[in-house]
Amino acid sequence: MARVAVAIIQSASTGSKEESLESVRRLASRIRGQPDLVLLPEYMMFDPTGMAREEVYRLAEDPEGPTWREFSRLAEKLGSCLLGHLFLRAPTGRVWNAAVLYGRDGHPLGVYRKTHLFDAYGYRESEFTEPGDRLWEPVEACGLKLGIAICYELRFPEVFRAQALAGAEAIAVPAAWYKGPGKEEALSVLARARAHENTTYILLASNAGPNFVGRSMIVHPMGYTLAQAPPWEWTLEAEIDTREVPEARRRLPVLKHVRPELYREATRSYPATTS
């Protein structure tokens, strides 16, 4: 399949789980076409801003819980692959920030647990989130080879380069990008940079809740914006053409020019991380 129809549900989450899920349902009912792939934002179950760890854990769910099943039914109803976002309970008393990819039949194709946590701008996601321990491996999903990264990981080029080298034609990015000076511009710059430097589509599903910027976007492998949503609730629909990926890589063969032997020493000197 060369042409892939994408729908991004730019829902608006609040501290209420039911209100947040109702935003998803309302926007899903507005999809006009027959998308191959539907994307939801990060934090769309509920907005954890200001919540204690115990409250986030209480509102989170176990795998195959009610929200998991609701996304499974939605994928089956739409006949689309669907990337949902969930808070899944971890055995540590914290939660995993998880993206779950469902096939057209509603069965899960895989789960990615966010590996790089947003401990910046005075926010500490690690207070209630357990980091994942491996990157997503791109999979075939409804017409394209799909990679996944989550929100803050847009600031880590290595996450995207690894998936591009593994054959990703598009990388889906659920995000809850907090508002603040320069933040909307940063989101746009980073999404376009990750697309251009890896010659891959970036499919950004960004939360439109009161604390977040919205502005979901679809970026071409050459780094220009094909479609973008406003800051409020929105359903963004567009078509991408996977034939554009090899063409971009022919014109701009950056992936062939990578020289990992030059970077190994630098990566060994990275500071140790804690969580």
Q: Which residues of the chain have pLDDT under 50?
A: 275
Report pLDDT for 275: 46
Q: Which residues are catalytic?
A: 42, 114, 151
How far apart CA 124 and CA 119 sit, in angstroms, is 4
Element (H, E) at 184: helix 183-198
pLDDT at site 273: 62
Paired strand residues for 160: none
- Domains of the chain as residue ranges with CATH: 3-268 (3.60.110.10)
- Residue 76 CA to residue 70 CA, distance in Å, equals 10
pLDDT at 267: 76
* Tokens 């790089």, residue located: 116
Sign of CA dihedral 151, 157, 162, 167: positive
DSSP 145-181: EEEE--GGGGG-HHHHHHHHHTT-SEEEEEE--B--T
71-103 tens-digit pLDDT? 999 999 999 999 999 999 999 999 999 999 999
Q: What is the DSSP letter of 30?
A: T
**Dihedral of alpha carbons 162, 164, 165, 168, sign:** positive
Closest to 135 measured CA to CA, from 90, 95, 107, 171: 171
Per-residue pLDDT, 271: 74
pLDDT digits (tens, 9 = 90+) for 209-251: 999 999 999 999 999 999 999 999 999 999 999 999 999 999 9
